[in-house]
Amino acid sequence: MFDLKAFLAQKTQLINQALAAILKTADKPDRLLEAMSYALMAGGKRIRPILCLAAAETVDGDPRNVMPAACALEMIHTYSLIHDDLPAMDDDDMRRGQLTCHKAFDEATAILAGDALLTLAFQILSSIPINNQRQATQWLRVIHLVSQAAGYCGMIQGQMLDMASEKRRFTLDELKSMHRLKTGALIEASVCCGAELAGAKADQVQMLEKYAQHIGLAFQVTDDILNVEGDPDIMGKAVGTDARRCKTTYPALLGLAESKEFAAQLVQSALETLDAFDQKADPLRAIARYIGERNR
Amino acid sequence: MFDLKAFLAQKTQLINQALAAILKTADKPDRLLEAMSYALMAGGKRIRPILCLAAAETVDGDPRNVMPAACALEMIHTYSLIHDDLPAMDDDDMRRGQLTCHKAFDEATAILAGDALLTLAFQILSSIPINNQRQATQWLRVIHLVSQAAGYCGMIQGQMLDMASEKRRFTLDELKSMHRLKTGALIEASVCCGAELAGAKADQVQMLEKYAQHIGLAFQVTDDILNVEGDPDIMGKAVGTDARRCKTTYPALLGLAESKEFAAQLVQSALETLDAFDQKADPLRAIARYIGERNR
């Protein structure tokens, strides 16, 4: 039986070490770097970088070659959280069990720390020593995938729609496509980057992309469920906020029981897309199940 | 005699066409794209992309090959203006002769439009069809140069220091190094990217980098002078704002007359670094003189 807990702990440690090493390259810490580090090292679930590493292992790649991409993905995720938490957006006070960046520092510093993490992600992705053309084009392709997923046709558009969802009730299709953009795009990019950098074949990348689509949506459905019935102490952030903001959510549209059923179906579909892979896909299988059952 | 006015008009037109073409690739305009376009197409001076193209021509490169980099640089500059203008930072109402992005739209949209322009810059830089390894590594190097110049060791750190300069009086050295980061880094990157993509030799890149350092600083000194005695109608933004904010500026530290002398010296130094180049560097020479004499 595959031990997911040990796998997650080991990968999280490696990712945290790699992230800390990147931030340590600065000669002297300053307020900007402190704010970046405060947000980045606060101990998130590291789902995106773990997916990136696990996808590489699924197609027999060396996860060490993929680590810069994994770190860049977590930086982009963290920047998006810092900006989403700002007073002009979701105006949240707590994140990852600590004060949000603009509460711990100030609004200007939080905006710039987010900008700096986004920019640093692309600096990391373009800093890999290149030995051959295949490698150079692979990393260019990864930069393209990541920028597309994070950009105005992806995550940022999703955040625009998310804010709109507080003003009027979304249909189920609108809700799905909002989440596909807001969280799905970067999750898909995480899996695809890991696979591509590990030299996956086109049909393998396609199957893994489908897997990522299913778990990305499942992740969001369980996020909505946790916002209704999660434990704020375990989650490190407030619950019940969606209802207070009158946001359209899966529980609001489908009810709690049917939302849980929907999440379970998505996990099942994700597992089926992995049928063509051997036991090296066990981490991805376990992650899919974990997303369906998570409590934080 | 080289006709700078005609050169700037022609390049500005080409750059604006290229930027508009990038933004037009979206299927349907939405509020996010409108805000991005509002800020990007407001008609700035396009100094950075023009420098990028002119540096390529100086070493006999084809400016068309460099255009994606030129566009990306202008996107990054525009994003920095949008974020700098936000209420939490400089809180400015006017920019490029029109309402600032957060005034014309709203704060959340302005933050996201800035984020999206920054991300789009890297998408553009990673979208070039690659024919050979030299090209792939050149573009990776450009992404690295640009991300470094725009990031927490460059432009963003400069904005942090700029905000600090409102709180205490800077020395001349502190002021110079703040500007080297805030505006100098991206101007240097503009020149270097143009030169590198055009296949410049290492010593040529080095000379052009020095040129960029001088004009970058000259640009900032004249900016400070214009904030004292410029015409707000010509400049499209308010003047006298530095004094009201008690910001350390060159005129405040050196006096107006000595600041003008300093700017003239910097322009002269910039011209001297171009001595090794032939008449293909005439655009860069004329731009240096223009920066010393500009009124907007």
Residues in contact with B39: Cβ distance below 8 Å, sequence separation at least 6, in sequence order: B78, B81, B82, B95, B101, B113, B114, B117
- The angle formed by the CA atoms of residues B175, B184 and B224, to the nearest 5 degrees, is 50
- pLDDT tier, B1 (very low <50, low <70, confident <90, very high otherwise): confident
Task: State which amino acid sits at residue B154.
Answer: G
- The reported pLDDT for the residue numbered A26 is 61
Is the Cβ pair A32, B111 closer than 8 Å?
no
Rounded CA separation B208/B188 (Å): 8
| Nearest chain A residue to B28, by CA | A153
To the nearest whole Å, the CA of B232 is away from the closest chain A CA by 26
* Residue B27 confidence (pLDDT): 63
Residue pair B245/B283 in contact by the 8 Å Cβ criterion: no
- In this complex, the residue of A79, A106, A140 whose CB is nearest that of residue B130 is A140
Please give the pLDDT value at position A245.
Answer: 83
Mean pLDDT value of segment B211-230: 94
CA distances from A205 to A57, A194, A274, B135, B251 (A): 13, 9, 11, 26, 59
Find the residue in B nearest to A153 (Cα): B26
- The predicted pLDDT at position B26 comes to 61
B86 neighbourhood in chain A, CB within 8 Å: 108, 111
Instruction: Give the residue from B73, B77, B51 showing the smallest Cα distance to B274.
Output: B51
**Where residue A241 falls among pLDDT bands split at 50, 70, 90?**
confident
Encode pLDDT of A172-199 as tens digits: 999 999 999 999 999 999 999 999 999 9
Q: What span, in angstroms and rounded, lies between the C-alpha atoms of A109 and A125?
A: 24
pLDDT cut 90: percent of chain B above it: 83
Upper half-sphere CA count for residue A136 (Cβ side, 13 Å): 21
Mean pLDDT of B63-81: 97
Option in B26, B119, B139 nearest A156 (CB)? B119
Of A109, A130, A160, the CB nearest to B112: A160
Q: Which two tokens stand for residue B241?
A: 């704002």
d(CA A96, CA A237): 6
Write out chain A residues lying below 8 Å of B144, CB-based.
Answer: 123, 126-127
pLDDT at position A27: 63
Tell which residue, B278, B277, B290, B291, has the closest CA to residue B208: B277
Supply the range of the domain harboring residue A223. 4-293
By CA distance, what is A141's nearest residue in B? B126
Look at residue A172 in the predicted model and tell me its pLDDT: 94
- The dihedral formed by the CA atoms of B288, B292, B294 and B296, expressed in degrees to the nearest 10: 100
Q: What is the pLDDT of residue A243?
A: 85
Best probe of the B interface among A152, A174, A181, A196, by most B CBs < 10 A, is A152
pLDDT band at A283 (very low <50, low <70, confident <90, very high): very high
Nearest CA-CA partner of B282 in B30, B54, B75, B73:
B54
Instruction: Tell me the three-class secondary structure of chain A, residue by residue.
Output: CCCHHHHHHHHHHHHHHHHHHHHCCCCCCCHHHHHHHHHHCCCCCCHHHHHHHHHHHHCCCCHHHHHHHHHHHHHHHHHHHHHHCCCCCCCCCEECCEECHHHHCCHHHHHHHHHHHHHHHHHHHCCCCCCCHHHHHHHHHHHHHHHHHHCCCCHHHHHHHHHHCCCCCCCHHHHHHHHHHHHHHHHHHHHHHHHHHCCCCHHHHHHHHHHHHHHHHHHHHHHHHHHHHCCHHHHCCCCCHHHHCCCCCHHHHHCHHHHHHHHHHHHHHHHHHCCCCCHHHHHHHHHHHHHHHCCC
Evaluate whether B72 touches A72 at the Cβ level (below 8 Å).
Answer: no
Tens digit of pLDDT for each residue in A54-96?
999 999 999 999 999 999 999 999 999 999 999 999 999 999 8
Residue type (1 letter), A220: Q
Cβ-proximal residues to A27 (8 Å cutoff; 6+ apart), any chain: none
Which pLDDT does position A187 carry in this prediction?
98
How far is the alpha carbon of A151 from chain B, nearest alpha carbon, in Å? 5
Q: Say how many domains are in chain B.
A: 1
Q: Which helix (H) or strand (E) holds B208?
A: helix B202-229
Q: Which amino acid is at A267?
A: V
Tens digits of per-residue pLDDT, B16-56?
A: 999 999 998 766 679 999 999 999 999 889 999 999 999 99
Minimal Cβ distance to A143: which of B88, B122, B156: B122
Hey, what's the torsion of the CAs at A151, A155, A160, A162, to 10 degrees? 180
- Residues above pLDDT 70, as percent of chain A: 99
Beta strands in B213-286 (DSSP E): none
The H-or-E segment that residue B98 falls in is strand B98-99
Q: Can you give the CATH number for the domain in which A53 is found? A: 1.10.600.10
Q: What are phi and psi of A249, to 5 degrees?
A: -135, 170
Assembly ipTM: 0.96
Is B95 in a helix, a strand, or coil?
strand
Is the Cβ pair A143, B143 closer than 8 Å? yes
